[in-house]
Structure 1
């Protein structure tokens, strides 16, 4: 991986979403390494066993997944974040437009934004802003 290339974890059980997101990053000329996780459990395990220098610059997290959903991921992330050398911004990405979900995101300090699917160039620009 090139030194200035940022890494993004995409945690979503929809393989098509991973494909679209990677293509949209490419179209915007983003120099990123996108690592896909189809389950929240796999992403958490990867974070726990990463050698802190390989941590992502951003996590894009789906709210509704099988077994462990986005909220469960946040709870588990809270247990491991103190062992990480950096805090990782998390953007929740979901098709839900339920105001209760949006309010819950605002009350969750680990979440920097709530972006609804489907993605477009404006929403991609918002996501890129959290890469630092």
Structure 2
């Protein structure tokens, strides 16, 4: 196993839809059984998770963040604005992938201007997409 994969910590899913989080958790667990998955239902909860002071089995730091765009309250874009203000250690550790149903080309264009966003992926997450992201960033 690659040393980079060992440092992955966990995969964090940020999506307000519980069924989507459940399905994506199954995909990740099937493809990467050795990597913990954490899911939260809002961008605010995602930020709170990232600010957790612990880095242990209960709160491993994510190596990949799958982020929905359209969520009530704080949306994915709002999350990214706040994420940009977090410590460099948190930002450098994680690959942010927008995971969305949006077909608006403006969303893809906007994501391309945000350095923290490494991927723009359409839902649902597939095993192939997960393997591609893992290979490009952690091998």
Q: Please report the TM-score for the alignment, with normalisation by the length of structure 2.
A: 0.81
In the TM superposition, 1:1-132 aligns within 5 A as 6-51=9-54, 54-82=60-88, 84=90, 86-129=92-135, 132=138
Cα offsets for 1:43-102 (capped at 9, x unmatched): 111212333573211111001101000000000011113364843210010001211111
Q: Residue deviations 1:8-58, cap 9 Å, x none?
A: 111110111111111112332442100111011111112123335732111
Query: Could you say if the C-alpha distance between residues 15 and 4 of structure 1 is closer, same or farther in structure 2, counting changes exceeding 3 Å?
Result: same
- Partner of 2:86: helix, strand, or coil? helix
Give 5+ residue unaligned stretches, structure 2: 1-5
Q: What is the alpha-carbon root mean square deviation over aligned residues?
A: 2.3
TM score, norm. by length of structure 1: 0.84
Count residues in correspondence: 130
